[in-house]
Amino acid sequence: MVTLSTLGSHLGWRRGELTLAAKVLLLQLVVIAVLLTAVGVLSVRQSNADFADDQGAQMRSVAEYVATLPGVRGQLQSVEDGQVPASTNPQRLAPYVEQGVSLSSATDVMVVSLEGVVLAATDPSRVGDRAALGDSDGLEGRGWTGDVEPDDERAVAHHAPIISEVDGSLLGIVAAEQTYPSLADQIATAAPDLALFLGLGALLGVAGTWVVSRMVRRSTRGLGTTELANLADHREALLHAIREGVVGVGTDGRVTVMNDAARATLDLDAGPDPVGRPVDELGLDPHVVALLTGEGADVKDAVALVGTRVVVFNRGRASTGGRGIGTVTTLRDRTELVSLQSQLSSNLSITDTLRAQTHEFDNRLHTISGLVQLGEYDEVATLVGTLTQHRADVNERVSKRLHDPAVAALVIAKHAVAEERGVALELDPGSRLPPLAPDEVADLTTVLGNLVDNAIDAAAGSQDPLVELWILADGDTLHVRVRDNGPGVPADLREAIFVRGFSTKPDVLGGRGIGLPLVRLICTQRGGTVTIEEADTGGAEFLVELPLATAADEDDGS
């Protein structure tokens, strides 16, 4: 048996506050009480309507019967002929009135003159008074059924005209009335059935409400409305306070939550509120949409370019009660970290170049030392001359076409790295580059260094490995082409190598897979482009276009 105390313990009064389940129960009980009251009122009104229909038909029969009695017509006709008025002899009409009452359950039957004066009535005290006719048009010669209020008691009545048999004129009317039962009488009459149905309804309503309140309590962990509101406020404050972006997406592909950091990272600050909108309608790149809404396995540390930012995505599935409700994705802006990695990559590239040159010099010094020990001084002279001429030729070919010292030095250094790897690095004779601004030099060396390193790695191991480099400043645009004769990049991976840190090479100190995304980042920030195609040599061909701040000075190198 459920008592108030056990019900309270089940619903949970927490620190003087009703839980949400308890409030739902009380609200449901109030609703049930209102509904039961409304049902009772409707039942009473329906009972009155049924009473009016049934008794109205009976009153019509009684009134029409009395109005057609010859004695009634004769008495009223005598008044019209100048004889003694029937109003002074109500006892002459009384038998007819009583006859009408005896034929039905009418409360009162009256004979009313054309002036509206009661000539005879079941209640003698009403004789001589004006009849309460309500909205009746019976004195106009038409039958009428409706409600009247004699002596402030509501009654259903019918007024039947009394027509003269001599000339067909209207002599008066007969009014038959039946008083409505009082509210107490109606309730007493309907009490057994009404109590049964209302009791069953209340019992079922309370039981159903209690079940619903239990379900609500289980769903809300027994928390009160204030606690739920505080929890929601804390959640909002937490989401908007953390610097890492958070995006929630429902199973229908719509955004359910997005904090300030995520809006800034995805560049959605200026537009309308993204919450509630489909992800694919936010104007994001397709690969970003796929990372936010993709189905299947969770995403771990996926790197993608969002505008000019390098962002790391981590996506996990959200569920409640074992049922999936969508995904939650965190976003970390790694643009600054990538810039630091770019500087570190440049330093590592210089280190690799110095190491390659050191290795090359060691080998040549060992050769020279051996020749000296053998006394082959002519061979030493020949070897030194050859080496000097080769290095001079490389320096001349590069510096003749590339007039920016930093870029020329980078190409010469990469030439030594390529030779150590057994790869031929060739600068296209049509290359032309004037001196550049310092910021342009920094970005160009990063782009060139990453593209050439990737090309050397791809070509190494191929037959007659070759990397071709072409650099041309054409007006206010800088063109760079790097191609190799390696295995190339499959068409389905050409986008992945830019946006997700893709790399077919083993990870070394976490540095792999960031070079090409960095190239695209620099190109995007400068308003340029980088694309990849299949080279004529069978490998990959990277094409870069970068706007220049100032027009390049053309130099034919002659």
pLDDT in tens, 315-324: 888 877 677 8
**Distance of CA 342 to CAs 46, 286, 334, 511, Å?**
86, 26, 12, 10
Q: Tell me: do 206 and 269 sit in the same domain.
A: no
Per-residue pLDDT tens digits for 433-473: 999 988 888 888 888 888 998 899 888 888 889 999 999 99
Residue 396 has pLDDT above 80, yes or no: no
Pick the last residue of a domain from 333, 349, 376: 333
The pLDDT-based confidence of 113 (bands split at 50, 70, 90) is: confident
Residue 16 domain-assigned?
yes
Q: Where residue 450 sits, what CATH number does that domain have?
A: 3.30.565.10
Query: SS3 of 162, please?
Result: strand
DSSP state of 420: H
Residue 520 domain-assigned?
yes
Residue 545 has pLDDT above 90, yes or no: yes
The reply to whether the predicted model has a pTM over 0.85 is no
Angstrom distance (rounded) from CA 112 to CA 120: 7
Tell me what percent of the residues of the chain surpass a pLDDT of 90: 6
Per-residue pLDDT tens digits for 124-143: 888 888 888 888 888 888 88
Residue that wins the pLDDT comparison between 558 and 467: 467
**CA angle at 352 for the pair 394 and 508, rounded to the nearest 5°:** 140
pLDDT at 469: 93
Domain span at residue 512? Answer: 401-547
Query: SS3 of 433, please?
Result: strand
The residue-averaged pLDDT of 475-503 equals 80
Per-residue pLDDT tens digits for 71-80: 888 888 765 5
Residue 555 has pLDDT above 60, yes or no: no
Q: Tell me: do 93 and 155 sit in the same domain.
A: yes
pLDDT at 360: 60
DSSP state of 128: T
Pick the last residue of a domain from 313, 333, 353: 333
CB 493 within 8 A of CB 504: no
The residue-averaged pLDDT of 204-223 equals 69
Residue 543 has pLDDT above 90, yes or no: yes
Q: Tell me: do 202 and 184 sit in the same domain.
A: yes
Closest alpha carbon to 418 in 376, 381, 389, 451? 451
Q: Tell me: do 222 and 248 sit in the same domain.
A: no
Give residue 103's identity as a one-letter amino acid code: L
Q: Tell me: do 221 and 283 sit in the same domain.
A: no
pLDDT at 87: 46
Q: Where residue 29 sits, what CATH number does that domain have?
A: 3.30.450.20
Angstrom distance (rounded) from CA 256 to CA 276: 6
Phi, psi of 304 (to 5 degrees): -145, 155
Pick the last residue of a domain from 219, 236, 253: 236
**What is the DSSP track for 43-95?**
HHHHHHHHHHHHHHHHHHHHHHHHHT-HHHHHHHHHHHTTSS-GGG-GGGTHH
Domain count, the chain: 3
Q: Tell me: do 206 and 121 sit in the same domain.
A: yes
Q: Tell me: do 247 and 228 sit in the same domain.
A: no
